Amino acid sequence: MDNPTVIIIGGGATGLGILRDLSMRGVKTLLVEKGDLTNGASSRYHGLLHSGGRYAVKDQSAARECIEENQILRRIGKSCVEETEGMFVRLESDDPNYESQWIDGCKSSGIKIKKISVDEALKLEPILTSKIVSAYLVPDAAIDGFRLSWQLVDSAKRFGGEIKTYTRAVGIDSHNGKIIGVRVRNRSGEHEIPCDIVINAAGGWTGKIAEMAGLDVGVQPDKGTLLVFNSRLVNRVVNRLHKSGDGDIFVPHGSVTILGTSSMSVPTPEDTSTSRAEVENLMRIGSELIENLPKYRLLRAFAGSRPLYRPKGGAIGREASRGFAIIDHSMEGLDGMFTIVGGKFTTFRLMAEKISDQVCKKLGNSNPCRTASEPIVAEVSSKSRENVQKFFPSFGLNLAANRLGKDRFEKVAKKLESEPESRQLLCECENITRAEFEVIASEETSTDLDDIRRRTRFGMGTCQGTFCTFRAACIFGKNSAIDSTREMLFERWKGIRPVLIGQSLKQAELMRSIYISSLDVNAGGELF
């Protein structure tokens, strides 16, 4: 690539949204990310495409942004969005005044809600407590953060955008108060990439990146912990109708359900630790909505940091704004440097549009934003699905088509057709064929098993990698099978450790014993 005009630092949803937006407007753009894509907040959250209902009382402009973006993403991101719809339920113990404020808030924010009877609510979601006193349907949906990110990349690439993963920005260089480039470090060493504009979209790491340019941006990492259950406990997003708090949202996500979130200020975004205390707290609150919750199997816990923007003296935690801010640092004497901070996943496209507008203005580029009208990737048509149905495992076709997008889907289908042995299931829990694994593994950006896991979902189901890790490690071939196994299992263990109760404990011990006795890999380290 010739030198880019713009370098984006940070491969989360915001950065990738900007990459797509600028590329579509014809701006030469490169994105650098220190790890794999979306290793920060964009995938470490509950995967809820907000209707805005959650913000309808506290912040109606955020609510309005949510519902607008929600409608847009349903159109442009069909294969990332599962249109589950959502339900808000108020329990006996919740403040009834909040309900009326919420109804008004939804109305004035343009969120269509539909009151349903308690009986109807329980018929739709029989697992919920019978202590519901009122229930509403809202246009919430589930969205897959991993998938969206990859599809944004695919889209940006079609318009000339580029990304470099595992490439860390280590310096921001300027000359006479003007940006001249970014110094990066990756496996091949350290070098400078010249550019005119730098966009700091590093999420929780925004402050650190700003520091490299001698700037000060207040970002408060706010850690949210989430739990993953082994099955679809609910078929739609279920929110508690009360002043937002911990553990009051259940999101069905493919074959699992995610319960979140807690909110805790932490000193560093690297802190994605989860503790038993956090798990128990979430379980306790979640059990108010689903009384039998402790009977259902947990798969893992995970945490991510929301990068809350904190202007000097601003609030922190849940009270802090979930809005976003764009800073043009030319005011502070660094021309060509922009920062975007705060916001939420649901509104990533809008954030990208706003900052791209400013950047384009500066570049004298008058092309309008097209991200809201063009689908992110071409969908796999139902006709081409039908043609290859017989090569896919049952109940596996749609999932694969949505994960893969048109081009890769065709590749995988061709492989399945021509190489019958590639129809073997590599991951039996999530129905991932060997063909799909191999197609993704062969891509340049797949540097380790975790990269492939995030894109295919192998190892993310019931057994958490017990039976697919060694298969994957043997097929992968880019690294030593033992190293790959160890890395993958360590990552799996991180999320399993806080939920070592009941069946997940049995699963964990089985996994540990298999790998210790066969490969001498002690994946778990100390269990407790």
- DSSP characters over 300-330: EEEEEEEEEE--TT---GGGS---EEEEEGG
Our finding on whether 338 is near another protein (CB under 8 A) is no
Our finding on whether 396 is near another protein (CB under 8 A) is yes
Our finding on whether 422 is near another protein (CB under 8 A) is no
Q: For the window 490-509, what string marks contact with another protein as x by the rule CB under 8 A?
A: -------------x--xx--
Our finding on whether 395 is near another protein (CB under 8 A) is yes
Q: How many helices (H) and strands (E) does the chain have?
A: 15, 23
Our finding on whether 235 is near another protein (CB under 8 A) is yes
Q: For the window 41-80, what string marks contact with another protein as x by the rule CB under 8 A?
A: ----------------------------------------
How many Cβ atoms sit within 10 Å of the Cβ of residue 357? Answer: 16
Q: By C-beta, is 26 or 254 nearer to another protein?
A: 254
Our finding on whether 429 is near another protein (CB under 8 A) is yes
The correct pick among 231, 387, 418, 480 for binding another protein (CB under 8 A) is 231
Q: CA-CA distances (angstroms) from residue 118 to 80, 92, 94, 315?
A: 31, 12, 15, 37
The correct pick among 18, 213, 337, 397 for binding another protein (CB under 8 A) is 397
Largest CA distance in the chain: 68
Please work out, in degrees rounded to the nearest 5, the angle formed at the alpha carbon of residue 465 by the alpha carbons of 462 and 469.
155
| 307 contact partners, CB below 8 Å, separation of at least 6 | 41, 203, 204, 206, 219, 220, 221, 222, 269, 341, 342
Find the shortest distance in angstroms from Cβ 393 to another protein: 8
Our finding on whether 428 is near another protein (CB under 8 A) is yes
H helices of 325-468, in order, are 348-363, 382-388, 397-418, 434-441, 449-456
Find the shortest distance in angstroms from Cβ 475 to another protein: 19
Q: By C-beta, is 194 or 396 nearer to another protein?
A: 396
Per-residue three-class SS string for 70-121: HHHHHHHCCCCEECCCEEEEEECCCCHHHHHHHHHHHHHHCCCCEEECHHHH
Q: Which of 408-428 are b and which e, b meaning 16 or more Cβ less than 10 Å from the residue's Cβ?
A: bbebbbebbeeeeebbebbbb
- Three-class secondary structure of residue 238 per DSSP: strand
Q: How many residues at the interface with another protein, by CB under 8 A?
A: 30
Residue 100 structure tokens: 């009326």
According to DSSP, residue 3 is labeled P
Residues 106 and 63: their CA atoms lie apart, in Å, by 8
Range in contact with another protein (rule: CB under 8 A) among 23-31, 39-47, 247-255, 448-456: 247-255
Q: By C-beta, is 126 or 313 nearer to another protein?
A: 126
Q: For the window 290-329, what string marks contact with another protein as x by the rule CB under 8 A?
A: -----xxx--------------------------------
The correct pick among 431, 446, 456, 484 for binding another protein (CB under 8 A) is 431
Our finding on whether 450 is near another protein (CB under 8 A) is no
| 302 contact partners, CB below 8 Å, separation of at least 6 | 44, 225, 226, 228, 272, 274, 495
Find the shortest distance in angstroms from Cβ 243 to another protein: 32
Find the shortest distance in angstroms from Cβ 421 to another protein: 13
The correct pick among 230, 263, 274, 484 for binding another protein (CB under 8 A) is 230
Our finding on whether 167 is near another protein (CB under 8 A) is no
- Three-class secondary structure of residue 182 per DSSP: strand
Our finding on whether 154 is near another protein (CB under 8 A) is no
The correct pick among 446, 462, 469, 484 for binding another protein (CB under 8 A) is 462
Find the shortest distance in angstroms from Cβ 448 to another protein: 23
Residues that bind another protein (CB under 8 A): 230-232, 235, 252, 254-255, 295-297, 394-399, 425, 428-431, 461-463, 466-467, 503, 506-507, 510
